[in-house]
């Protein structure tokens, strides 16, 4: 004779559901050579090879002076390099030789080539120097991509 199963627990109340925080998950670090066009949500540890300011302008917005700065920085790891587009405060962190963690980075396409960027939903953090040597002869930003429409018949 089978023993009866205990009754299922009551469903959590609405207040209990709203108080429960989602569990944080460990970041999954990617290598530069794993990046593909149109992808987002990447976390990488890279070294800054070079930094070149391409735009630095200020304009007056009411009484506050608003500066817009953009720098193209060559960053990489032991697998490849890619151009990272740093904006405003990010420019100060991207000093040649620095090791940085890029959180929630995305791939933007610019004139058919990949550019790495971190928007307001991501973060750029300077960290302790990494031990790897940057592979500078594999620049993913020099690969030109072409959008092809595939028509199924």
Residue 124, in any domain of the structure: yes
For residue 42, the tally of other CB atoms under 10 A from its CB is 23
From 55, 32, 50, 53, select the one nearest 105 (Cα to Cα). 32
Closest by Cα among 52, 40, 151, 149 to 104: 40
Residue 84 confidence (pLDDT): 94
| Domain assignment present for 15 | no
Strand intervals (E) in the chain = 29-30, 42-61, 64-76, 81-87, 99-110, 113-117, 123-127
> Is residue 94 in some structural domain?
yes
Into how many domains does the chain fold?
A: 1
Domain membership of residue 104 (yes or no) is yes
What CATH number is associated with residue 104? 2.40.50.140
Distance CA 67, CA 85 (A): 16
User: Buried b / exposed e across 65-83, counting CB within 10 Å, b at 16+?
Assistant: eeeebebbbbbbbebbbbb
* % of residues, the chain, pLDDT over 70: 84
**Would you say residue 152 lies in a domain?**
no
pTM: 0.74
Instruction: Give the torsion sign (CA, 25, 30, 36, 38).
Output: positive
| Nearest alpha-carbon partner for 127 in 153, 152, 95 | 95
- Its domain, for residue 112, covers 33-140
Question: Which ranges of the chain have pLDDT less than 50?
Answer: 62-63
Residue-wise pLDDT tens digits, 8-48: 777 666 555 556 667 777 778 899 999 999 899 999 999 99
Give which of 104, 107, 106, 108 is closest to 123, Cα–Cα: 104
């Amino acid at each position: 004779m089978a023993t009866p199963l205990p009754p299922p627990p009551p469903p959590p109340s609405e207040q209990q559901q709203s108080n429960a925080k989602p569990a944080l998950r460990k970041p999954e670090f990617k290598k530069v050579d794993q990046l593909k066009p149109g992808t987002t949500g990447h976390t990488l540890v890279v070294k800054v090879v070079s930094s070149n300011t391409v735009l630095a302008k200020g304009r007056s917005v009411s009484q506050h002076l608003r500066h817009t700065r953009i720098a193209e920085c060559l960053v990489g790891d032991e697998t490849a390099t890619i151009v990272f587009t740093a904006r405003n405060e990010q420019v100060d962190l991207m000093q040649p030789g620095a090791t940085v963690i890029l959180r929630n980075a995305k791939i933007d396409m610019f004139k058919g080539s990949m550019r790495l960027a971190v928007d307001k939903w991501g973060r750029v953090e300077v960290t302790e120097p990494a031990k790897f040597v940057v592979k500078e002869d594999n620049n993913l930003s020099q690969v030109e991509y072409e959008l092809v429409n595939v028509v199924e018949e």
